[in-house]
Chain A
Amino acid sequence: MAEIVDISSNTGCDFVGGVYLAYATDSANITAVTVSAGVITGFTMSGTGQWGKLEFDDVNNVAFFNETGELVGNTVRMNGEGLMQFSGISQAKITAANQAKACCGVVVIWFQNDGLKRVQGIDVDLSDNWTFTTPTQPRILPNLNSDTGENEAIMQYNVPHQGKYASPTTSLDGAAIEAL
């Protein structure tokens, strides 16, 4: 239903930004999703252990998951982009990057520093129907930078997507995701 909903100003002052952790899977691994009042409360997977845990090395606080609305003709699209960073480059990380970029579409659960968990790669409409994001599913674009001697070598995953709706939240915590 189209309407403008009231939004009150906050009284607190503790609204820290940033993300510190993500879980990601090839979207082909997800068979079904449970949605309740817009919140993703469950995933049904085609196998076990299909969620990769991505713990960032982010002392410089560069990791983020941002979404920006864009008017395309008379349609509002949501352009999302996430960035996660890992210190150092190794053959194991190069292999991981090559495997990640081979996924034609991914779903990423971003753990924000404020406690919110956002699911990138799934559109949920106002009736709790879900689809993988259209027109563009998230993909992982790796960067592997030696950088200069003044800095550290890093690997980054950029994760862009374009969807119809702002990315939903999930009630699942890390233990629940890892149990799948």
Chain B
Amino acid sequence: MPKYKIHPRYASKKQLITLNADSKAVNLCGTPVLKKYPATLTTDEWSETIPAATQKDLEFVYKSNVKDSKGFPIVIVDESEPPAKADSKK
């Protein structure tokens, strides 16, 4: 199973918020984010936590071909992770 990560050109970002396969917001940068909603005429101020993206979310973003305005991918395969070894039975 390949592993996925955000491209190093975005490594300094604290937040990259996108929707996963279930249309739920996730933070591709790997940390949960507190999202605050201001009070309106009918509701009080409230907040919710946007979770960090899982490997499944990163895989979805990678396979969705998400690119920045220069055409570069946001999520790439993590080449630093050794691929899972094949069955070594002889």
Contacts and interface: CB of A to CB of B under 8 A. Distances in A.
Majority secondary structure, A binding face: strand
Interface in A27-42: 30-36, 41-42
B18 A32 contact: yes
B23 A49 contact: no
Contacts of B64: 34, 36, 41-42
Interface string A156-180: 0000000000000000100110011
Given A31-B10, A34-B64, A180-B25, A44 B17 contact: yes
B89 interface: no
Contacts of B69: 30, 32-33, 130-132
A46 B13 contact: yes
A43 interface: yes
Nearest to B71: A129
A49 B13 contact: no
Contacts of A35: 65
Contact of B17 (A33, A172, A180): A180
B66 A34 contact: yes
Contact of A179 (B19, B61, B65, B68): B19
A175 B19 CA distance: 11
Interface residues of B, number: 25
Nearest to A47: B15
A179 B24 contact: yes
A48 interface: yes
Given A45-B16, A45-B18, A34 B24 contact: no
A48 B71 contact: no
A180 B19 contact: yes
B35 A49 contact: yes
B71 A31 contact: no
Contacts of A180: 17-19, 25
Contacts of A172: 19
19 contacts: A32-B18, A32-B68, A32-B69, A33-B66, A33-B69, A34-B65, A36-B64, A36-B65, A44-B16, A44-B28, A44-B61, A44-B74, A46-B16, A48-B15, A49-B36, A128-B65, A129-B71, A131-B69, A180-B25
Interface of A: 30-36, 41-49, 128-132, 172, 175-176, 179-180
Q: Which 3 A-B pairs have the closest CB atoms?
A: A48-B35, A44-B18, A179-B25
